[in-house]
Amino acid sequence: MLNDDIKNFHDECGKVDEFEDKIKKIRNREEKSQKIREKKDSLKRVSSLMNQIKISFLRQIESGNFLNVSDNEIVEFARALGRFLSYSIKMNTIRRFLTAFREIEKTKSYSELVLIRPKLAYAVGRSGSEERLYMQVLMDFFDPILQKTSATADNDEQAKKFEKNLKFMEAIIAYYRYYGGGNE
């Protein structure tokens, strides 16, 4: 089921990208307005599909341990999330979170991972109306795993979970850039 959701998501994203290419080439105002409306409808379908993917991800996190999510699944979730975020989020917004992860990586103070949660909440709160939806999805993905990772008492397990969180964030940013995010 998840593979179907992700395939449908990427198919719909392809349609959004096609509309974007067509919009850039059209000179006729009415035709351009029509394509913009079609693109917005397609983005709504993309958002709906992303919501289904997010629900699948959260089920996996809640039913077990984040460490049990396979690397292949992490890559597929990151690919979808990175592509989704590329439609609206600015590069400096998303890099801020990677920087926070890097600081924790340097100090090995994994208990500070919980402090990324309020940074995410702040970023959602200060986002404009269009960007807010996208930031909320990023927060919805990360908040539960940050919560579970920081609640782990065992330092070795916390370190392993942190590494997986870091790899997830790096993969999201890689796909975000791959799909054109940050190219304003």
Average pLDDT over residues 129-140: 90
Q: Which of 19-23, 61-65, 135-139 has the lowest mean pLDDT?
A: 61-65
Count up the domains in the chain and report the number. 1
Q: Tell whether 184 is covered by a domain.
A: no
State yes or no: pLDDT of 183 exceeds 80: no
Average pLDDT over residues 124-145: 90
Average pLDDT over residues 46-75: 87
Q: Residue 144: give the domain boundaries.
A: 2-178
CA dist 76 → 25, 51, 123, 126, 133 (Å) = 32, 15, 24, 28, 21
pTM of the complete model: 0.88
Q: Tell whether 183 is covered by a domain.
A: no
Position 184 scores a pLDDT of 57
Q: Tell whether 172 is covered by a domain.
A: yes
Provide the b/e sequence for 70-97 (b: ≥16 CB within 10 Å).
Answer: eeebbebbbbbbbbbbbbbbebebbeeb
Q: What's the rounded Cα separation, in Å, for the pair 153 and 117?
A: 18
Q: Tell whether 170 is covered by a domain.
A: yes
Q: 32-52, pLDDT tens digit by residue?
A: 888 888 888 888 999 999 999
Computed over every residue of the chain, the mean pLDDT equals 88
Average pLDDT over residues 61-90: 88
Residue 51: CB atoms within 10 A of its CB come to 13
